[in-house]
Each structure stands twice: as structure tokens, then as C-alpha cells.
Structure 1
Amino acid sequence: MTKLAIELRGRSRLRATKTFLRQFVDHNGARLGILALTFFFIFAVFPGPLVGPLQTASTATGDFLAPPSHKHLLGTDEVGRDVLNLAVHGARISLTIALIAAVISLIVGTSVGTLAGYYRGRIDNWLMRLTDFFFIVPPFVLALVITPVVLEVIGRGGDILGFRPSLFVIILVIGLTSWGFVARIVRSQTLSLRERTFVDRARVVGSNDLFIMLRHILPNLVPQIAANGALVVANAIYIETALSFLGLGDPLQPSWGTMLYLAQHAGAASAGGWWYLGAPGACVLIVSLSFVLIGNALDDTANPRRRVIP
């Protein structure tokens, strides 16, 4: 390939990227989702300057299950802690778990789907049977079964790679059980891409399979991976919330799911403490919906058949 051809190809890709980003930003769903997530990411990154350090039972200064007021905008919990303080600090835990778990799911799903679609035959058959298991069985059910077993084996003391064992296990379990539909989508796209002319040219010039998958196939999968990645994050938030609500979270590092678990055990619903349940529930709903909106916007932008022409 001549220098001029390489330069023209680079310009074409840059122009296509700019067009894609412009169409994505112009999407109403993307704008709404990005705006909402911006606020929550600010909360997750700077919880201390916004609401102070995480309150504990010993540092709580509010009344027990006090309703929202000018002093406590979202009320207090059963030990007098400010619910707003807990919700803002919970954003860091919930988003960290969801994002890292989503990255793991995307790496596993993309790897399995690319290998299955590229090689086909026996490799495709074995990998798709494995994918079918994770695709059919709900990830939450697998996570619910696996998480307590792993926690019992490794224990809850000490940190693992900077995370407490309970959080580390939840991240791994969610990430390793939620990749099925990603693998299916990537495989279908890879089956189409491997028959394209540019892949045949790469084979003719002697490129090996790994180079072809990384250099020619994977870049063309990025839009689909990004669109489904946003949905994977939303699903990871739901699973983490459900697991923590069932008592598998870490009370020392409360997420939104852990707040719901503590509110349930404190009898907030029967005591009329709607703010204790409503604050983390609203956070989960808004953040999950924002990721879904962004995922749909990416899909609309990347898929010409779904693109709305004004």
C-alpha cells in the first residue's frame, strides 16, 4: 500500500469518526443520558467535597429516620446518617462495580465471539455451546449461586487488588456471567466481516489470523461493542443492586443496593421512611436508564437501517 493510499485511508476514517460523533451528539437520547451521567460521575469522583466524608453510625448527627428537611435534604437512616451522604458515596461503589464488570464482560464476549465467527467449524460449535449456557441462564441466577460460594472459600478479610473481597467477587461474578449476548452479536458481525474483500487482501499478503482479527475485524466491531457495552453496564448495575439487596454486598462500602438492603432491614417501608428507599432506588433507575439511552443512541448512529432521516 502506497503512502498516498495510507494517507487517504486515514483521512477517510477520521472523517467517518467525526460524522459518527456528530450524529451521536445530535441524538436526543444521547444528550439526555450524557447529561444525567455527568452529574452522577461527578458525585462518584468527588463525593467528599460535595457531601463530606462517608458517615458512620459513630459520626451520624441526624435523628433516626428523620424525613427530608433543610438540614438533611434526603432525610436520615435508622442510625441518623444523612441519606444524601450515603447516596453520593454509594455512586462510587455502584458505578465502579458496574463499569469494571462491564469491561470484563465485553473483553470475554468480544474474544469468544470473534474467535467463533472467524474460525467457524468445530471451534465455533464449542464456543457457541458454552455461550448458549451463559445466554440462556439469567446472569443474576448464576451470580446469586456463585457469589456466596466464592465468598465462603476466600473469606472476607483483607483487600484484593484494592477491593474488599465482597466487592471483588461481585465484580468478577457479574463480569464472567454477563457476556453471552455480546458474544452472539460479535460472532454474527465477524461472520460477515471475514468474507469482506479487505480481509481476503490481508490473507493474500500473508497476514496471520491474529493480525487480521486485531487490525481489520476488531476496529469494524467497535460501534456494535460500544452500543452493547452501554447496555451491559445497565445490566451490571441491576445485578449488583439485586445481589447487595439480598445481603451479599459490603456494608462498610455501601452501594445503592446495600442502602436498599439496610432500609429493608430497618423497616423503612412500614415506618413510612420512603426517602430511605426512594433515594437509592431513583439513583439506580436514572443511571440505568441513562446507559440504555446512550446504548440506543449508539445503535441508531452506527446502524444505518435504524437511523432516522429528517
Structure 2
Amino acid sequence: MKGFLGQFLGYSGAQLGLLCLAVFLVMAAMPDLLAGPLQTAINATGDFLAPPSSQHLLGTDEVGRDVLNLVVHGARISLTIALLATIISLLVGTTIGMTAGYYGGRVEVWLMRLTDFFFVMPSFVLALVITPVVLEVLGRGGEILGFRPSLFVIVVVIGMTSWAFVARIVRSQTLSLKERTFIDRARVVGTSNLNIMIRHILPNLVPQIVANGALVVANAIYVETSLSFLGLGDPLQPSWGTLLSIAQRAGAASAGAWWYLGAPGLCVLTVSLSFVLIGNALDDTFNPRRRVIP
């Protein structure tokens, strides 16, 4: 474990990514402590579209709300959606990829044709088509598992449309692992196929799943931001994408309110880049062929 951490932290990209990610995780964990309760039009404390000042470090929006307050609270929503969607994506992708690689034959053919469809079709396009339809069926009132319906639907849709990349990688690794000697020994002693996949193959897939999972998070943040920017988010629980959407509708660009668009946009860019750096460093650490001297 110490050797892995030393190798991983030896990459400057990993250090930078972890530092940036730690800052945003603290923001997501303690938004009230860092920036106070979420401001609304009723309890706004500033003037309309006021530029950054000592009182409002990132300026205010079109109703006088502090942009720093909105960005800090938006971190919890954006990161929660991205992480939950990534968990769904990894579970689906790992299950399909491992099943296809282990069983082969017609099972592999049908599962990989399904994977190819989701791989060729951009997840954002699928999410853009599916999300409004599901929202129309469920409605926007009430809560589902602690989320408002719009956010719950975004989490599920992103997770169910972003798994193809993971499935292809897991399948290729499973094809190699199932030919190993320890798998043959497990079959000889009568271990069931399910137990072989869970107890013998899955643990060997974890490094690849973790490394690529970081890249899936970055994509999930991008898709969530895009969907929210197009108006599919929830203004009562604003994410960074929702803030960008509200700023665009308020005419922040034409009014020269660069801070209103720049703050949430920079957060999205920074977090996405952090996960990409971490993912690349993990891949270099786990994969000796890609390993280079930092």
C-alpha cells in the first residue's frame, strides 16, 4: 500500500488533482459553515449584478444574491449528482462487461452490441432525449430518495447512459483473466461461475475500474452541467450548471457580469480537470506499460 501511494503521489498531476478536489469536497461537505445558508431572492444581501468587492468576493447575481454563496452550495449538488451517477455507471458497466467477457458466445455478442450502441451514441445526446420524457412522467413535485425528481432523473439517466466505456474495458480484462491458472483451479474444485466472477475476477478488475471511474466522474460533471444549463436542472437546488443557465437567461454576458458566468464555469472546469489528472495518474500507477518517471 505504501509503495502504491508513493508511486501515485509521485505524479505532479495526482498532487494537483487531489489538492483541488479536496477544496471542493470541503465546500460540498460544509456549505453553510463556509458561506452561510443558501441565499434566495428574499434574503439576498447585495445590489443587482454588483461586481466583486470586499463584501461580495465573487459579486452578486440579478437579484442581489452573493455568487460565492451560490457557488459553494452548488458544489454539493454538482458533486453529489456526478458521484452517484458514476456509481451507477460503474455498476452497470462492470456487470455487463464482466458477464460478456466471462461467458462469451451469444451472451457476449448481444451484450457487446448493446454496449456498442451506447458507446457510439454520445451520453449527453441520450440524456438530453430521455430526461425530459422521464420528468414528464414523474412530474417535478415531491422527492425521490431525498432528491427532487429533476435531480433524481438526471442522476439515473447519466448513470444509465455512461457505462459503455467501462464495459468495454472490463470485458477486455475479463477475457484475459478467465484464461489464468487460478480460474482453472477454481473451476476444478467446483466453484460456481458467479462466485468465480465475484471472488476471483472482480478483485483483479478493481484497479482498472477505479482508474477509469475518475474519468467517468469528469464526464458525468460535464453532462450534468450541460443538462442543467439547458433548463433541466432544479432552481430550488441549484448546481453549477443551473447557475450558468440562470446567468445566461439573466443576460449576464451582455451586461458584462463576467463573475456571474465565470465563477460556476471555472468550478466545473477545475473539478473535471482534477478528476482527469487523478484518473491518468491512477492509470499510470496501475499499468506498468504506461508508467513513466514523473
Report TM bin, short chain.
over 0.9
Question: Match of 2:209?
Answer: 225
Question: Match of 1:273?
Answer: 257
Aligned-partner residue type, residue 225 of structure 1: I
Q: Does 1:263 align with 2:257?
A: no
TM-score normalized by the length of structure 2: 0.99
More moved, 17-26 vs 99-108? 17-26
Task: State the secondary structure of the residue aligned to 2:146.
Answer: coil
Find the aligned partners of 2:192 and 2:97 in 1 and give their Cα distance. Answer: 18
Question: Match of 1:42?
Answer: 26
> Which of 110, 122, 125 matches 1:138?
122
Alignment of 1:236-247 (within 5 A): 236-247=220-231
Aligned-partner residue type, residue 224 of structure 1: Q
Alignment of 1:1-310 (within 5 A): 17-309=1-293
Find the aligned partners of 2:65 and 2:200 in 1 and give their Cα distance. Answer: 54
Q: Runs ≥4 in structure 1, deviation > 4 angstroms?
A: none
Q: CA RMSD in A?
A: 0.7
Find the aligned partners of 2:91 and 2:155 in 1 and give their Cα distance. Answer: 14
**Deviation readout 1:134-163 (Å, 9 max, x if unpaired):** 100000000000000000001001000000
**Deviation readout 1:148-182 (Å, 9 max, x if unpaired):** 00000010010000000000000000000000010
Find the aligned partners of 1:122 and 1:87 in 2 and give their Cα distance. Answer: 49
* Aligned sequence identity (%): 78
Aligned length: 294
Give 5+ residue unaligned stretches, structure 1: 1-16
Find the aligned partners of 1:200 and 1:113 in 2 and give their Cα distance. Answer: 20
1:309 CA drift (Å) = 4.1
Aligned-partner residue type, residue 18 of structure 1: K
**Deviation readout 1:9-67 (Å, 9 max, x if unpaired):** xxxxxxxx432222112221111100000000000000001110000000001000000
Find the aligned partners of 1:50 and 1:172 in 2 and give their Cα distance. Answer: 30
Question: Match of 1:14?
Answer: none
Aligned-partner residue type, residue 214 of structure 2: A
1:206 CA drift (Å) = 1.0
Find the aligned partners of 2:237 and 2:264 in 1 and give their Cα distance. Answer: 14
Find the aligned partners of 1:27 and 1:207 in 2 and give their Cα distance. Answer: 41
Task: State the secondary structure of the residue aligned to 2:267.
Answer: helix
**Deviation readout 1:210-230 (Å, 9 max, x if unpaired):** 111111110110110001000
Task: State the secondary structure of the residue aligned to 1:252.
Answer: coil
Give 5+ residue unaligned stretches, structure 2: none
